[in-house]
Chain A
Amino acid sequence: MATVDTTFSRRRVLRNELIGLYGVVERNLYLTKRYFLWDVAFLLWTIANTLTIVFISRGVDLAPAARNELATKLLVGGVIWAFLGIIFEIVTETVAWERWEGTIEYTFMAPVSRPVHLIGMGVYAVLYGLVRAALIFVAVVAFIGIHLPHANYGAAIALLAIASISFIGVGMMTAVLPLISPEKGTQLGFVAQGLMLVVSGVYYPVSVLPSWMQWIAKISPATYALRGNRDQILLGAGLRFSDVWPLLVIGVLSIPIGLLVFRAGERYAKQHGKLKRSG
């Protein structure tokens, strides 16, 4: 009887992993296409939500220039909130959506590595999130009439992309929650998003926070993304090293920690039979 050869060369393994990563992005594109109108509705809701925040600047008795500055700061906070929300949502869907559809067992028994699977979700989340953030930004600026004569959009997008490495890492940690609790795990991801932003000065400077929260702000990637993006949009600042290096350090640490946390969660799920369909 002949034997079966399953030894794969490194090159073939790498090729298969890249195709797997492409497959994750492609699947998300299919889903976005199929749920396009729902996504449009959700985008409108996010724009309305951001407007409710930015309109606060119109109710404050300030000189026009100061009011414009406040509106911009609130807008950057609102857009980053929305960007982070979509990244956490998509990465958390790695488990939650597949579990609901019942495909999770097929995906988790496929020979693609978990880092590639999760990073594929992260890549799509960042691309989709950036397009969505740009649309929200443009819509709110046009609606309220904010003047941004010095804005450095290229640097702002680049900084957001660098910050995304850390956001994906944290997203991986929250993605494991639906494995542990199918019913409530996804919502806990939103808790993580809220906690990260509240210490990062989403609509206010970090300096107004109690000192213990300011310490936590130092390890939150959103702190540097918010600070840098505000200066880039208001003052036309470039990519500052003081914003980039903390984001890179947090990113380099958060991805492996995220993968470790996910691996531990997957192991727990396999021990307790929680990879089954639910919904």
Chain B
Amino acid sequence: MLSQQAVVVRDLSKVFTRRKGLFHRRRRSALKGVSFTMDRGECVAILGQNGSGKSTLVRLLSTLLLPDGGTAHVFGHDVFKDARAVRRLVNRVSVEASFFKKMSAAENLAYAARFYGMGPRETHTKIPVILERVGFPASRRNESMENLSRGMQQKVALARALLTSPVLLLLDEPTTGLDPRSKQEVQNFIREIRVRHDSTILLCTHDMNEAEDLADRIGLLDRGELLFLEPVQEVKDRYGVETLEEAFFAATGRTFEDEKSEEDEEREVFA
């Protein structure tokens, strides 16, 4: 049995090093002592520019990275010491809808589902249902992924994540690069998940409207530091501003679209 708090992150740090020449190494902090908690059923959006540490945070919570400091717990399980228990609870949709391109949507979903203990009989009935729910046409279920549009692929990615009934869903820029219609469809589906599923959602995005629209609380991750994590109105009140763009400027002294420094670029590549 697990803790009622969905996510507890304490002083989480991650440093990436890359070789520079024969004897030198460059070190870039992707996360600097990040701490926050999420309640069960809550949707939290983490805003940040590219290279701010959002994907690193998601990868750490997905058990794909090991930290250089701090702790993280998902429903009471230590993410780094009890990774297998965490993996049963978590799934993820990232900016790249990664699949075996020659395999069909149904085959890709079956492959993913097997790792979560779903046998052929179970997937035979569940896959058509989940694909229909995300608005994926039944006639294209057996078509190679490489023939599908980016929007269609992202719908299959959402279906893959939901097929395993995760209680913590990590969404890492799920709508980036989608056309407006596909973006709207994905956002509607995220709303539906919140209503129909018992899922806690961590949404990492650089779309401020999306964050404001979908999340209960909004955090700002800047150069690896979590500057705040509050309900959107409290963020605006704290900085005395009307919009999240203005709040970002007030918190960082930069606009969201400002050119990145060389260090930011490196952090983006490393992370």
Contacts and interface: CB of A to CB of B under 8 A. Distances in A.
A109 B66 CA distance: 13
Interface stretch (B94-102, B175-183, B184-192, B231-239): B94-102
Interface string B135-179: 000000000100000000000000010000001000000000000
Contacts of A23: 110-111, 113-115
Contact of B87 (A5, A111, A267): A111
B112 A106 contact: yes
A110 B112 contact: yes
Interface stretch (A29-37, A69-77, A80-88): A29-37
A61 interface: no
B92 A109 contact: yes
A37 to B, nearest CB: 12
Contact of A272 (B3, B16, B112, B160): B16
A273 B115 CA distance: 23
B89 A35 contact: no
Given A4-B89, A34-B103, A111 B270 contact: no
A273 B16 contact: yes
B64 interface: yes
A101 B98 contact: yes
B126 interface: no
Given A6-B88, A106-B98, A34 B17 contact: no
B112 A3 contact: no
Interface stretch (A14-22, A171-179, A235-243, A257-265): A14-22
Given A1-B40, A273-B270, A102 B96 contact: yes
Interface string B13-35: 00011000000000000000000
B112 A26 contact: no
Interface size bracket, A side: 35 or more
B213 to A, nearest CB: 25
Contacts of A39: none
Interface residues of B, number: 50
A119 to B, nearest CB: 14
Given A1-B4, A8-B88, A20-B115, A273 B65 contact: yes
Interface in A234-279: 267, 270-273, 275, 277
B66 A271 contact: yes
Nearest to B75: A4
Contacts of A35: 102
A110 B144 contact: no
Contacts of A3: 1-4, 75
Contact of B115 (A15, A105, A112, A270): A112
Contact of B98 (A8, A34, A105, A111): A105
Contacts of A102: 96, 98-99
Contact of A27 (B3, B56, B89, B111): B111
A207 interface: no
Contacts of A103: 98-100
Interface of A: 1, 3-8, 12, 15-16, 19-20, 22-24, 26-27, 30-31, 34-35, 101-103, 105-113, 267, 270-273, 275, 277
Interface of B: 1-4, 16-17, 39-41, 56, 59, 62-66, 75, 77, 84-85, 87-92, 94, 96, 98-103, 107, 110-119, 144, 160, 167, 270-271
16 contacts: A1-B4, A3-B75, A4-B1, A4-B2, A6-B75, A19-B119, A30-B107, A101-B99, A102-B99, A106-B160, A109-B63, A110-B116, A111-B117, A270-B64, A273-B16, A275-B64
Given A27-B103, A109-B91, 20 more contacts: A3-B2, A3-B3, A15-B117, A19-B119, A27-B107, A34-B103, A101-B98, A103-B100, A106-B160, A109-B62, A109-B64, A110-B115, A111-B84, A111-B88, A111-B115, A112-B115, A113-B84, A272-B16, A273-B59, A273-B271
